[in-house]
Amino acid sequence: MHDEFIAPRYGGDSLSSLLPSIEARLKSGSPIVDIPRASRYVILLVDGLGVHPLQEHVDHADTLAERLDTAMTLTCSVPSTTATSLTSLGCGVPPGQHGVVGYTFLDPARDQLLNALTWEGGPEDVPGFRCHDTAFQRLTVGGQNSGVVSLGRFQDSALTRLAFDGTEHFGIEREADTGHFVDLVLRALDTNTVVYGYQRMLDHNGHGHGVGSWQWLESLAHIDDMVAELAAALPADTCLLVTGDHGMVNVPLERKIVAEDHAALDGCRHIGGEARFRQLYCDDPTRIAAAWSEFLGDRAHVVTRKQALRAGWFGPHVDPRVVPRIGDVLVAMRQDWGIMTSAFPGEFSLVGMHGSLTAEEMMVPLFCFGPR
């Protein structure tokens, strides 16, 4: 694996270890991630909040800047993408156990790609597709209730059912209203021991305008204000944990390679994943991996599924039901390159991207506020 890549720290300081650590603290056990002891916990997940982008622009985030030197650093899962990270967080296990192995990946039962965010192409039995219970379900069995604060339209989404089954949903109606968000979190704490809150606009503006754009910086400042207001409003017995699901890399137009424009990249039955982490489904993985590796050279790290499993990209233990969902060949882009496909025309307009194993994409912060 290239030196610039970061291996996921499953079983250690990783996003998938956060809820098991909260479970341990609530049971007076030993956590994997050394979070503070508290009676209640609020997790604020900021979509797209990576360590490296934050460090580069921390002058726009006064509250987070004060704690950056003492913040912990976690790895997200592979690939470094929202659907995989949120399900890893919500289930408390790596993707090889829960089964959401990317943004778009194969449903082998029907030999077609599904989109884990929109659930286009996904099966009707959403809970049955997930291969592991959520941590929230386990908390409920142990007598600890959980709540989720996210956009109202997300309440019945497939991703919410995959990652957050077992929670009470509190729907955000006014996304830009910090006070409204804080009020919902406080309301959720009235009946729940663990509350998860989700904010998406940093990622949204990163995709649309790029990391460091004025729109992205404005979102970062808004998040910083929200963290300050939320930390001040929480009860004294509550710990606020602020983290992200992945970082982001800006991909210039001249660094976007279109797979269909090059005969050397032919031969795939499906091209899934996303521009920074393609999952190729094919009948001859060895040949396809060699062809893509030769063509891309030092612009990408190309491995077969077997190599990725041996390297632990999807966790130390991979459920047999999950194995065929993973690409026969995996293409992890290096530096600021992207591999595009005409199958997903909407991706061509993106500026900021993620999915690969670079430090900019894999490393997320963990800030702890309270209890007081």
User: Above 70 in pLDDT, residue 10?
Assistant: yes
| pLDDT at residue 187 in the model | 98
Q: How confident is the model over 277-296, as a mean pLDDT? A: 98
With cut-offs at 50, 70 and 90, classify the pLDDT of residue 1. low
With cut-offs at 50, 70 and 90, classify the pLDDT of residue 3. confident
- For 165-211, what is each residue's pLDDT tens digit? 999 999 999 999 999 999 999 999 999 999 999 999 999 999 999 99
Is 81 within 8 Å of 277 (Cβ atoms)?
yes
Backbone angles phi, psi at 11, to 5 degrees: 80, 0
- For 310-321, what is each residue's pLDDT tens digit? 999 999 999 999
- For 214-266, what is each residue's pLDDT tens digit? 999 999 999 999 999 999 999 999 999 999 999 999 999 999 999 999 999 99
With cut-offs at 50, 70 and 90, classify the pLDDT of residue 4. confident
Query: With pLDDT > 70 as the criterion, what percentage of the chain qualifies?
Result: 99
User: Which helix (H) or strand (E) element contains residue 132?
Assistant: none
> Of 362, 355, 279, nearest to 10 (Cα)?
362
Return the exposure string of 14-48: e unless at least 16 CB atoms fall within 10 Å of the residue's CB, then b. bbbbbbbbbbbbbeeeebbbebeebebbbbbbbbb
How many beta carbons lie within 10 A of that of residue 315, not counting itself?
Answer: 23
Q: How confident is the model over 272-279, as a mean pLDDT? A: 98
User: Which two structure tokens, joined as six digits, stand for 322?
Assistant: 């999950």
User: Above 80 in pLDDT, residue 212?
Assistant: yes
User: Which two structure tokens, joined as six digits, stand for 166?
Assistant: 């077992």
> Of 322, 290, 284, 314, nearest to 303 (Cα)?
290
State which amino acid sits at residue 299: R
| pLDDT at residue 329 in the model | 98
Query: Distance between CA 207 and CA 173 in Å, rounded?
Result: 23
Helix residue ranges, H only, the chain: 18-26, 51-56, 62-67, 82-91, 95-98, 126-129, 135-141, 158-164, 178-189, 201-209, 214-233, 285-296, 305-311, 359-362
How many beta carbons lie within 10 A of that of residue 128, not counting itself?
Answer: 8
This prediction's pTM: 0.96
